[in-house]
Amino acid sequence: MPGRAGLVLGQGCVVPTIAAMHPWLSVVLAYALGCVSFALLAARLRGIDIRAQGSGNPGATNVGRLLGRPWGVAVLLLDVAKGYLPVVLLDGPVTALDPTGRVPLAVAAVLGHVFPVQLGFRGGKGVATTVGAFLALDPLLGVIAVLIHFAVRRLTGFVALASVGLAWAFPVEQLALRAAGAGSGRFLEGTLALVGLALLITLRHAANFQRIRAGTEDRYDARPVAPDEGAARSAEAPPGADAGGVSARTRVQEETETDGEGRDTR
């Protein structure tokens, strides 16, 4: 299994890994994985430019609308994996703020999704990738954070509020454990960095908050558009729909997962 010294093959034989020899290189690798846009890749496999069809948003919601729900779910899970895999497979740098070396990997993966270099640093909001990172850092606290997301979404109907609630839930849970004198082995040393990550995700939803205050943010209750239905709308758009066949209500729903500039919340 992989460890900080390298890959143990048995009988005391240890093969050094890249991550073990250069811990900060692990952070770069985590960022690079976060930069991968699975939404764009999935659409290209089907010969579609996702930025020119549907809502134009390169995210799981638009993928599901154009290619079908299974494709959308697949992209969502892959975005979660971008946050999970670097934390469990790589050895990150040990610092005074995080002796485990895992939190820098989690933050790097999310930053890669939010600020992908190959897309001009214009990415999504990192929520799905953050979920993966939380589950890798601590499965129990991660599951609780996800449940809080669903609860807030159910109570308010707003994806943006639920996403921000999820981002803050994990570090708040860590602080609660510390205050209770528990939490040994739960990566409490990285709480400060995770608070910074929650602040970033909150700021990425600023446009959503403005629409909520203005009463123009749609709630999470609109029916997804099937791929064939979307194609039909493109050919003959009904009243209130744009040139891509997406209704105004559907576009507002999509914007609950974007910042209005095509960047995915996930």
Task: Give me the pLDDT at residue 91, please.
Answer: 86
How far apart CA 17 and CA 15 sit, in angstroms, is 6
Mean pLDDT per 10-residue segment, the chain (266 residues)? 47 51 85 93 89 68 81 93 94 80 94 91 87 96 96 92 96 89 61 94 90 85 50 45 46 48 51
Task: Give me the pLDDT at residue 255, please.
Answer: 47
Give the burial class of 70: count Cβ atoms within 10 A of its Cβ; 0-12 exposed, 13-18 middle, 19 or more buried.
Answer: exposed
Name which of 205, 207, 204 is nearest 114 in CA terms. 204
Give the burial class of 158: count Cβ atoms within 10 A of its Cβ; 0-12 exposed, 13-18 middle, 19 or more buried.
Answer: buried
Q: Which residues contact 244 (CB under 8 A, 6 or more apart)?
A: 53, 54, 55, 56, 230, 233, 234, 237
Task: Give me the pLDDT at residue 5, please.
Answer: 47
Name which of 222, 228, 229, 207 is nearest 253 in CA terms. 222
Task: Give me the pLDDT at residue 164, please.
Answer: 96
Task: Give me the pLDDT at residue 50, please.
Answer: 79
How far apart CA 232 and CA 193 sit, in angstroms, is 47
φ and ψ at residue 200, rounded to 5 degrees: -60, -50
Give the burial class of 213: count Cβ atoms within 10 A of its Cβ; 0-12 exposed, 13-18 middle, 19 or more buried.
Answer: exposed
